[in-house]
Amino acid sequence: MKKTHYLFVLLLTVLLIGSISAQTPQYYNYNNVGTSSNTFPFGQAAGKAVQWLFLAGDLNQPAPLPPGYQFTKVWFFITTGGTRTFTDLRILIAQDTITSLTYGAFYNGLWDTVYYKASVTITAPSNGWVDITLDKPYPYDPTKSMIVMVGQCGSSGSGFYVRQNVLTGYRRVWSVGGCPFTPYSGGDASTVNFGVDVEPVPNFVPTVLYYKFENNPTLTSVLNCANPGAGTQVAPIANVTLSAGGQFDSCITGTGLSSSGVTTGWNCDFGTSSWTISMWMEIPTNSSGTAYYLFGDVGSGSFRCFHNGVAYPDSIILRGTGITDTRIPQTGPAPTQVAFVYDSAMASILCYKNGVLVRTVPQSPLNIATGSGFRVGGYSTSPSFIGKLDEFRVYKRALSASEMAASWNMDIACGLVTGMSKNIPLPETYMLCQNYPNPFNPTTKIGFALPRSGFVTLKVYDILGKEVATLINEYKTAGNYIYEFNASNLSTGVYFYTINVNGFTDTKRMILVK
């Protein structure tokens, strides 16, 4: 009987501990420590924004948060629980070397918007943690200070007070209430009891080439987002067009023109080592006997990949000197992500479609000669591919089956590596460009620059201030963007377009003449 009683108590204890730990963040600064119970920012009906500063090493419970991780959730300790519906609830994160906020002023560095909801209802417990799942993971550098901004433009409901601990210096600044957020003439040493859930930063970033065709410096160049990368970081393109409709965003469209594609500046140098080449494509069925090229390097023993020709419609072939032809069938006309993985240990090329292994082609051990210029979207002076091409990735290693399954439909951040950002030529300031051409009929291009990722809205208004079009209303990674606006359904007149992202707003005027 005593033994049974002991097992029951032990089981109950385990269940209780499991229940408690399930409501606690993986890493945090304080767990219900401090005497302040504050309504800023969640408990304010009129809206409120707060910025808190956390120094390097603050997230040290139950152990210091190590490098190489990204946030997936943020947590706040709530003293007075309740249910509230928020308007325009957002969370922004920035990292810097600062050790104090500025009295009466908001931090003016570069932010990442990690969470945004136009309307959301959240229930928080009393004397417990509430978690918010981020829209996008945030790579964290534990050697730097972190600034977290939470803002909402109005709420209804009850409770939702946060626990704060008082330290030294200026750890908190806040707005006067309502939107847009205006700094209050104040500041103090209060810091919220704050926590995070994390996951390892995926090691899926291509190491040689990575063209997302999103962060385009110009209409005739693309950014290599690989890390460390090879060749030219900003690479020129010719006879293919940057356009919408890619796997995640924009892509390049080819029409079979010669001397086409991205001039990468990289000479293919795989040698005898393993490698992976993957890409997303949408190739329409074409009965032509002409081969249309997706990539290749003439100098590497004519190492190349094409569709049509001897590949037949709706299939692609990888071939070259010393390579047994490797064909992936049924790669069109529907959008398909394909990958060739050469595993030197197996002496085979593994073929994947949408993350699933579909063929294994044995090879004599490959030794691909150093090339004379690798091209994406074309091959030498031969015809380019026909259709759409996106997310072109090259690794100097063989990705495993589990990595292929996990990454084929993953929108990998540009230059992401082990919780840090690669030093790539991204914009230094937010910018909304003048549309071109202007006046226009009926299409024009609108460019904008984002030094940090964020939730972007780009809207068009008529001369009376009535919204006539929403061009963008989604999360965008940092970079340069060009949006083509088609105004065929609008009348001749003056219009205005406005961008809003991470607190940056700008408006410009354009003229439609029909």
DSSP 395-462: ESS---HHHHHHHTT--PPTTEETTEE------SS-EEPPPBSSSBSSEEEEEEEESS-EEEEEEEEE
- Rounded CA-CA distance 291/319 in Å is 12
Instruction: Name the DSSP class of 315.
Output: -
Q: Which residue has the tokens 């100098």?
A: 299
CATH 2.30.30 fits 27-200, yes or no: no
pLDDT by residue (tens digit) across 492-514?
999 999 999 988 899 999 999 98
- Rounded CA-CA distance 37/127 in Å is 10
CATH 2.60.40.3080 fits 431-512, yes or no: yes
Contact 305, 296 (CB under 8 A): yes
Contact 302, 320 (CB under 8 A): yes
Topology of 209-421 in CATH?
Answer: Jelly Rolls (2.60.120)
Q: Is 18 in a helix, a strand, or coil? A: helix
Neighbours of 68 (CB within 10 A): 17
Each domain of the chain, given as residue ranges in start order, spans 27-200, 209-421, 431-512
Q: Which residue has the tokens 């002496």?
A: 347
265: alpha, beta or left, given left = phi > 0 and alpha = psi -120 to 50?
left
pLDDT of residue 428: 72
Instruction: Name the DSSP class of 274.
Output: -
H or E element that contains 89: strand 82-96
Q: Which residue has the tokens 């100097």?
A: 396
> Does 431-512 match 27-200 at the fold level?
no
| Torsions phi, psi for 344 (to 5 deg) | -65, -30
| Torsions phi, psi for 480 (to 5 deg) | -105, 135
One pLDDT digit (tens) per residue for the chain, 514 residues = 434 443 333 333 333 333 333 489 999 999 999 999 999 999 999 999 999 999 999 999 998 988 778 899 999 999 999 999 999 999 999 889 999 999 999 998 878 888 999 999 999 999 999 999 998 788 888 889 999 999 999 999 999 999 999 999 999 999 999 999 999 999 999 999 999 999 877 668 898 999 999 867 788 899 898 887 899 988 999 999 999 899 988 899 999 999 999 999 999 999 999 999 999 999 999 888 899 999 999 999 999 999 999 998 899 999 999 999 999 999 999 999 999 999 999 999 999 999 999 999 999 999 999 999 999 999 999 999 999 999 999 999 999 998 898 889 888 877 543 333 333 346 777 889 888 888 999 988 888 888 777 788 999 999 999 999 999 988 777 777 878 899 999 999 999 999 999 888 999 999 999 8
Q: Is 349 in a helix, a strand, or coil? A: strand
Residues in the chain: 514
- Rounded CA-CA distance 494/514 in Å is 12
Q: Is 137 in a helix, a strand, or coil? A: strand
